Amino acid sequence: MESDTIGGGNRWLTPQDYSFVRERVPILCVDVLLSPCSRSSAVGLIRRATYDGGDGWCLVGGRVLRDENLATAVVRHVAVTLGTELRLDPATLEMRAVAEYFTESRPGELHDPRKHAVALTYTAVCEGTPRPAGEAFDFRWFDVGELGDVDFGFGQDRVVARVLGSSGRGPALD
């Protein structure tokens, strides 16, 4: 069995099973746009590889496991991606947007050729020190005003703009 990097335990699918499912049905995911408790004008993004061989700044997140509560999935992904020294305040976790990624490129739609995914996108406040791990090879706090210059992956600039707009923090990206 391969390494359990996402903390799935016995709910982890084998690569063969996951491939079978991924080719037939949308995959449910959670993403989170983090803000430090001391600075509401900042958001945290991870730098990670993208499907095209490059990399970009992205939300923290990933698949929801069978029988896993959505809030638990968010907390798990934050812990495995940024370490346990960064603590998310569950009382601040709020669902802000639904993002759908299609395997086939479509005008105006999000695209990920690896899988058709539906991501429930949250905001949350956190404190502590991020320690990028797993898929994240970097982490940074960005002031909302500088997001227009960020090189996003997976088209997540549109998701971040939608989330910021829904939380009253304004359209940060043009």
For residue 15, the model assigns a pLDDT of 86
- Give 46's strand partners: 58, 139
Judge whether 81 and 46 are in contact, CB under 8 Å.
yes
For residue 19, the model assigns a pLDDT of 82
Residues in the chain: 174
For residue 168, the model assigns a pLDDT of 78
Q: Name the average pLDDT for the chain.
A: 90
- Tell me the C-alpha to C-alpha distance, in Å, between residue 158 and each of 10, 61, 84, 96, 171: 35, 16, 29, 13, 10
Q: Residue 23 is which amino acid?
A: E
- Taking residues 106-121, report their average pLDDT: 94
3-state secondary structure of 125: strand
Q: Which domains does the chain have, with CATH numbers?
A: 27-166 (3.90.79.10)
- Taking residues 137-147, report their average pLDDT: 96
- The model's pTM is 0.86
Does residue 11 carry a pLDDT above 80? Answer: no
Residue among 159, 168, 131, 174 at smallest CA distance from 41: 168
